[in-house]
Chain A
Amino acid sequence: MWDKLTFSHGVHPSEHKDLTEAVPIRRMPFPEEIVLPLRQHAGKPAKLLVKVGDRVERGDKIAEADGFVSVPIHASATGKVVGIGWWPHPDGTMAEAVRIRLEKFSPQIPRPRMIPKWEGLDPQQVVAAVQKGGVVGLGGAAFPTHVKLLPPKDVAIEMLLVNGAECEPYLTTDHRTMVEYPDRVWYGVRIMMKALGVGKAVIGIEKNKPDAIEILHKAKPEDLNADVIGLTVKYPQGAEKMLIKAVMGREVPSGKLPMHVGAVVQNVGTIACIAEIFETGLPLIERVVTVTGPGVNKPGNLLVPVGTKIKDILTFCGGIKDNVTEVISGGPMMGAAQPDLEAPVTKGVTGIVALTSKESRPREVYSCIKCGHCLDACPMFLNPTLMGSLAQVARYQEMADRANLWDCMLCGACSYVCPSNIPLSQMFGLAKYQLGRLRRKETAA
């Protein structure tokens, strides 16, 4: 029965997960300096609370949530604020960031904290604790988690869907988390179910991680109405809408959210992170990052303080090879190429992938030969051939009106299969950006 648990279309890039899937998570030593951008989540950037010269301790709040769709940011190590200013951001842009020089001989032990007893809290208080902990989606999009936990009153949530698909090639952070911390995952599921008031939870895992499926099965508490489900290995299986389609057989209507079909989707790493808040009282200040790719000398899965520079992480992993052409934060299908390795790891960075000239996309672009492979790849059933020809002549508004541009989630499946190497997904991203800018200009005027 499980064989059919998937969505239609999609692509099969080589996984390359064997580089790191058996490497246990280990903690990286603290670097000399960390950089904490104020914008680490989707929504409004956090509001700064510290000034240059301040001493902060590990776990201290350095910026507070600015509104509802925002979360606070905490210092991930003890040290002194040495600078506040623009710094490279791992999404490829620049962002305002706090630089903290670590105290050389600090034990880096956080001061004792109140550990919230979640059993005694009502759902609102659990959600508030999640926001206070600065928790965002750890699967890459970094959407503030507490927002998803507070659905409007008129929608009924039936199921908590835990996303352990990890469909991006190379990445193994979720895989290792599930294998090494199954109890923490289930603990997090329990808390989330209470916060949401749902009676059912399902963990969806791609079948290329049989050990994770087995271990979670074994660790499942008897009293929990939950299930672990193996999903077909296909990209983008881990996209929210595709996961819901696979597990629940429902389609999220265009422009709507998962909650409108009765589901809340949370990444399995996020779930474990929430469990940690209620275990240790520590906010989200460190995360698991897969450092991998053919260009890395010693690939592995690292637990790093948020704010550690990519440069330092790569150095810890034995440096990179001479033929490296691209360093990507996140997975190679949706991640951002890094112009500057000084950029830090933020809450949403799932991995650091170093590709060499062998894996990088070729430069040569040919004419579209109307093969239709992109139509067969698009999980949203769009027509990338049509959208591509419109994008090439900058008819962006037409793309939105005629070709449903806004349904595109930029998964990159079309660009991946295109034999002519046309940067379809890339052009769609540009089109969305340009349309958004136009819209902002109109509202401003």
Chain B
Amino acid sequence: MTERSSTQILGDRLLLTASPHLKSPDSTPKIMWNVVGSLVPVVVAAIFYFGPSAIAVMLAAIAGALGVERIFGKKKSLWDGSAAITGILLGLCLPAGMPLWMAFLGGAFGIAFGKLVFGGLGQNPFNPALVGRAFLQAAFPTAITTWPSTQMEWGAWRGANFTAPLLTGEAPDVITAATPLGLWKFEGEVTDLLSLMMGNTGGSLGETAGILILICGGYLALRNYLNWRIPVGIFATVFVFSEILYLINGEAFPPPFFMIFSGGLMLGAMYMATDMVTSPVTNLGAWIFAGGIGILVVLIRVWGGLPEGVMYAILLMNALVPFINRATQPRVFGHFPEKKVKEAEA
């Protein structure tokens, strides 16, 4: 008789929700923290190449992002992991010698003006990490293009990391190295592919180990935490476009594999362009979005004034996402284009 009473008592505490009553195990924080986790190898590689400076710069950027999210964001929004991603990604696209206060400011600006002003998670049109970086690029053009070499002693600081805000500090002895893209653009020199893939070149913290980013992003794609169509589309467009240019004039234009593995393209294609919030929701839209980024990257790199164009390419395409979404709505089941209906009736 105990069971019988259990069914009666239960009536008071039964959940009353509308169907469906089941939920897939995926959740937004789970996706976000998986992205963070997948970035760990990339972060480790950055530390391997750039020593304590890498740790300091990334921590500063993360602190800026988390700090602003904590103060101005929604309650508990720190725990959804999205601000942490912004901080890490921003840190990864800064040079190791960046003064820490600038990195901190970039993280804070990215979250505040790239995300929170629009209403927080899910509402922002632009990738917050790239907004932060664009701000730094505009405000401190020299600091953000001073690339320390990977060849320094591991424990050494790679630049004026500890300059006080708004003061020009004494820079320690830093061996700088041009980035592969800078080398190509200004010297006409093409870095060999192996160095590019292994990351043994000058550049931002996360610009280096191309092959590692590919593997980490591949993991996310396998778990459906990023839309594989976006990186594949970007790589394909960049490859085809630069291959055509290379075939036309091998002297004036860089080889396609160099284009794919140099600069921020790998990190941008895998982690920035695939930001769910700022990329299209339709799969056709994802292809268009990726194609647009690929073309813009090549255009800016080859004909623009800057050696690198991934950041602006993604930000520009971010702006088009609402239009892409509207234009690429799939045909609803059971709805047929008017032309076809007329044909069928005729």
Q: How far is the CB of A200 from chain B (nearest CB, A)?
A: 23
Given contacts A372-B282, A385-B281, A419-B28, contact A407 B333 (CB under 8 A): yes
Could you say which of B30, B82, B329, B332 contacts A380, with CB atoms under 8 Å apart?
A: B332
Partner of A319, one of B3, B18, B279, B332: B3
Q: Distance (Å) between the CB of A421 and the closest chain B CB?
A: 6
Q: Are A369 and B20 in contact (CB under 8 A)?
A: no
Residue ID in chain B nearest A430 by CB atoms: B18
- Choose from B4, B22, B277, B333 the contact partner of A369 (Cβ within 8 Å): B277
B313-343: contact bitstring with A at CB < 8 Å (1 yes, 0 no)?
Answer: 0000000000000000111111110000000
Q: In this assembly, does B8 line the interface, its C-beta being within 8 Å of a C-beta of chain A? A: yes
Q: What CA separation (Å) do A318 and B2 show in the bound complex?
A: 10
Contact assessment for A380 and B7 in the assembled complex, using a CB-CB cutoff below 8 Å: no
State A245–B334 Cα separation when bound (angstroms): 10
B20 adjacent to A319 (CB under 8 Å):
no
Complex Cα–Cα for A311 and B16 (A): 17
In the complex the two chains form, is A375's CB within 8 Å of B282's CB?
yes
Q: How far is the CB of B160 from chain A (nearest CB, A)?
A: 37
B80 touches A (CB below 8 Å): yes
Which A residues between 365 and 402 are near B, CB-CB below 8 angstroms?
366-373, 375-376, 379-383, 385
Q: Do A372 and B3 touch across chains, with their CB atoms under 8 A apart?
A: no
B121 to chain A, nearest CB (A): 5
Q: Does B218 contact A (CB under 8 A)?
A: no
A-B CB contacts (within 8 Å), total count:
191
**Are the CB atoms of A375 and B330 closer together than 8 Å?**
yes
Interface residues on B, range: 35 or more
> Do residues B21 and A326 form an inter-chain contact, with CB atoms below 8 A?
yes
Among A254, A371, A380: residue with most chain B CB under 10 A: A371
A314 x B16 contact (CB < 8 A): no
Give A88's nearest chain B residue, CB to CB: B11
Residue B10 is within 8 A (CB to CB) of chain A in the complex: yes
- Interface residue SS majority, chain A: loop
With both beta carbons as reference points, the residue of chain B lying nearest to A254 in the complex is identified as B334
Q: Would B281 and A336 count as touching, CB distance under 8 A?
A: no
Is A287 an interface residue, CB under 8 A from the partner?
Answer: no
CA distance in complex: A430, B11 (Å): 24
Does A341 sit at the interface, judged by CB under 8 A?
Answer: yes
Interface of chain A residues 249 through 263 with chain B (CB within 8 A): 251-256
Q: Does B174 contact A (CB under 8 A)?
A: no
User: Chain A contact residues (Cβ within 8 angstroms of B): what range?
Assistant: 35 or more
A434 within 8 A of B: no
Contact B21 A367 (CB under 8 A): no
Q: Does A20 contact B (CB under 8 A)?
A: no
Closest to B279 in A: A370
Known interface pairs A341-B11, A366-B121, A372-B281; A426-B24 also in contact (CB < 8 Å)? no
* B8/A381 in contact, CB under 8 A: no
List chain A residues, Cβ under 8 A from B121: 366-367, 369
Q: A116 on the interface (CB 8 Å rule)?
A: no
Interface residues of A in 158-200 (CB under 8 A from B): 169
| B residues 168-197 touching A (CB-CB < 8 Å) | none
Stretch from A143-151, A207-215, A354-362 that touches the partner = A354-362
How far apart sit A353 and B22, CA to CA, in the bound complex (Å)? Answer: 12
Given contacts A325-B14, A332-B22, A334-B19, A320 and B7 within 8 Å (CB-CB): yes
Is B26 in contact with A419, judged by CB distance below 8 angstroms? Answer: yes
Q: Tell me which of A254, A315, A333, A420 contacts B19 (CB under 8 A).
A: A333
Shortest Cβ distance from residue A357 to the other chain B in the assembled complex, whole angstroms: 9
State whether B4 touches A419 (Cβ < 8 A): no
- A276 lies within 8 A of chain B by Cβ: no
Q: Are B18 and A426 in contact (CB under 8 A)?
A: yes
Whether the pair A251, B281 counts as a contact (CB closer than 8 A) is no
Extra 5 A-B pairs, beta carbons < 8 Å, given A169-B22, A334-B20, A364-B27:
A92-B16, A326-B21, A369-B28, A381-B332, A382-B332
